[in-house]
């Protein structure tokens, strides 16, 4: 049966991109985008960066202006999907509206894990996910505010750098032994730790939070797992997310660390796809291990893949190269590939050791990821290399004198003539 009516639940990066790509690829049927948040669909990355710093105003957060949805005949409905009737092919909204679909795309994203400890229900304990969260936080981050950040992942550290640059005193806690431990290699962790310390940020590793002390409904201190009492006016947590998979589970779809999909991003029901932060997919770069990624690249590329499949324009399974970025102070971290389970690293020389870093991570002899700081050209070379090269450098190639990643990529693309 050909697909005439597509319903997309969730109007974040993945949901919006599905609608946009369907139209770009010539889909002429009906597209309905169910937006569970207020306002126009918007981008999240600036929330913990330029938006919080006041360098990007609210009018620049939306992914598209309102007229785009009208022009592209994408019906944007502000409502929440509460259930899926797979038998009749219908999504039921909180308002009672029933949306019939030929194909349903679940792009429901994820929500923050919350701090489940005594005292965490006071207003100055805030997680960072939505524009509303950033709007609550911005006025609280002023010179002299004592901030405790719980979680030294990307978002925690981005927030820490903004707060430190706005004159707050910032202490970061994490149960791991180094910053961004799940995402980057040890040298890159240590580099960021040093730079944050130079901005005045202090760290407690191997240390979590057991209790938040409050007086008259306001935070006064944080009690840590090692028994320290850290005075605080504001607690910001970034301790991971939970995929929004409830409506999928209740509809009888497979859920395991997200909505489980196959290599084509189809759920156990061939009329339902799942993408973005909510989806657990077989990741080609990790030997097809079930993986859930949280990044703009993943959300957008998976959306493009589903749109292409729906118009019958793709035969291969999803194989987008994972890449990420994080802006902290004057440092732009960019990662191409996935460092998970790396066994060997090679650090390449940089011109300015205070502001740049260049690290190759290997699983066995296989190049798994390339981490760069303030080296955008090298990041793009790494993406090109990891996306399509027939041969990748091994650790011994990378250690050989004069090794140049960009030249390597070029040599692979333009092999020397054998004539």
Q: Contact positions toward ligand FAD, by CB under 6 A?
A: 9-15, 34, 36-37, 44-45, 47-48, 80-81, 107-110, 128-129, 155, 244, 247, 276-278, 294-297, 299, 324-326
Q: Which is nearer to ligand FAD, 79 or 102 (CB)?
A: 79
What is the nearest approach in angstroms of ligand FAD to the Cβ of residue 17? 8
What is the nearest approach in angstroms of ligand FAD to the Cβ of residue 11? 6
Q: Which is nearer to ligand FAD, 47 or 232 (CB)?
A: 47
Rounded to whole angstroms, how far apart are CA atoms 298 and 286?
A: 14
Helices (H), 78-204: 131-137, 154-165, 186-198
Report the residue closest to ligand FAD, judged by CB: 12
**What is the arrangement of strands in the sheet containing 74-78, beginning at the earlier edge strand?**
74-78, 30-35, 5-9, 103-106, 272-274
Q: Kindly state the tokens that stand for 185.
A: 């290699």
What is the nearest approach in angstroms of ligand FAD to the Cβ of residue 404? 27
Cα dist from 217 to 30, 212, 239, whole Å: 49, 11, 23
What is the nearest approach in angstroms of ligand FAD to the Cβ of residue 82? 7
Q: Which is nearer to ligand FAD, 169 or 328 (CB)?
A: 328
Reported in sequence order, the residue ranges of 269-377 that DSSP labels E, i.e. its strands, are 272-274, 279-283, 289-291, 323-328, 331-337, 344-347, 357-363, 366-373
Residue 412: its H or E element:
helix 405-413
Q: Which is nearer to ligand FAD, 89 or 119 (CB)?
A: 89
Q: Which is nearer to ligand FAD, 81 or 385 (CB)?
A: 81
17, 22, 24, 26 alpha-carbon torsion, rounded to 10°: 180
What is the nearest approach in angstroms of ligand FAD to the Cβ of residue 157? 11
Beta-strand relationship, 331-337 and 323-328: antiparallel
What is the nearest approach in angstroms of ligand FAD to the Cβ of residue 334? 10
Vertex 49: Cα angle to 43 and 54 (nearest 5): 100
Beta-strand relationship, 279-283 and 234-237: unpaired
Q: Kindly state the tokens that stand for 200.
A: 């005045």
What is the nearest approach in angstroms of ligand FAD to the Cβ of residue 318? 14
What is the nearest approach in angstroms of ligand FAD to the Cβ of residue 305? 13
Q: Which is nearer to ligand FAD, 15 or 395 (CB)?
A: 15
Residue identified by tokens 């409050």 is 214
Q: In terms of Cα–Cα distance, which of 280, 275, 265 is closest to 297? A: 275
Q: Which is nearer to ligand FAD, 244 or 374 (CB)?
A: 244
Q: Which is nearer to ligand FAD, 172 or 230 (CB)?
A: 172
What is the nearest approach in angstroms of ligand FAD to the Cβ of residue 221? 26
Q: Which is nearer to ligand FAD, 230 or 260 (CB)?
A: 260
Q: In terms of Cα–Cα distance, which of 285, 303, 291, 287 is closest to 258? A: 291
Vertex 29: Cα angle to 24 and 30 (nearest 5): 105
Rounded to whole angstroms, how far apart are CA atoms 217 and 230?
A: 17
């Amino acid at each position: 049966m050909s697909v005439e009516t597509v319903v997309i639940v969730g109007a974040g990066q993945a949901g919006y991109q599905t609608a946009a790509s369907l139209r770009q690829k010539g889909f002429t049927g009906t597209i309905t985008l169910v937006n569970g948040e207020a306002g126009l669909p918007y981008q999240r990355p600036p929330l913990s960066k330029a938006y919080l710093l006041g360098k990007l105003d609210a009018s620049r957060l939306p992914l598209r202006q309102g007229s785009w949805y009208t022009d592209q005949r994408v019906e944007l409905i502000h409502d929440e999907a509460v259930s899926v009737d797979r038998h009749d092919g219908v999504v039921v909204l909180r308002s009672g509206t029933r949306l019939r679909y030929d194909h349903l795309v679940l792009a429901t994203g994820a929500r923050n894990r919350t701090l489940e400890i005594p005292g965490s229900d006071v207003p100055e304990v805030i997680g960072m996910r939505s524009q509303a969260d950033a709007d609550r936080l911005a006025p609280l981050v002023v010179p002299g505010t004592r901030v405790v950040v719980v979680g030294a992942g990307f978002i925690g550290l981005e927030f820490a750098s903004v707060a430190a640059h706005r004159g707050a005193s910032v202490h970061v806690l994490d149960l791991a032994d180094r910053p961004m431990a799940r995402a980057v290699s040890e040298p890159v962790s240590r580099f960021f730790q040093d730079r944050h310390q130079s901005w005045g940020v202090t760290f407690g590793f191997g240390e979590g939070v057991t209790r938040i002390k409050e007086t008259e409904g306001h935070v006064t201190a944080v009690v840590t797992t090692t028994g320290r009492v850290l005075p605080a006016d504001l607690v910001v947590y970034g301790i991971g997310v939970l995929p929004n998979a409830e409506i999928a589970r209740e509809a009888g779809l497979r859920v395991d660390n997200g909505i489980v999909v196959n290599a084509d991003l189809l759920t156990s029901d061939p009329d339902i796809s799942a993408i973005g932060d909510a989806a657990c997919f077989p990741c080609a770069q990790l030997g097809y291990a079930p993986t859930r990624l949280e990044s703009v690249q993943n959300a957008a590329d998976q959306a493009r893949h589903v749109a292409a499949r729906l118009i019958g324009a793709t035969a291969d399974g999803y194989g987008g190269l994972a890449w990420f970025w994080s802006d902290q102070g004057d440092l732009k971290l960019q990662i191409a590939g996935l460092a998970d389970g790396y066994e060997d690293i090679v650090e390449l020389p940089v011109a300015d050791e205070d502001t740049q870093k260049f690290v190759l991570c290997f699983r066995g002899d296989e190049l798994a990821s390339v981490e760069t700081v303030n080296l955008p050209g090298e990041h793009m070379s790494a993406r090109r290399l990891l996306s399509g090269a027939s041969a990748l450098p091994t650790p011994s190639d990378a250690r050989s004198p004069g090794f140049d990643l960009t030249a390597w990529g070029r040599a692979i693309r333009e092999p020397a003539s054998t004539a």
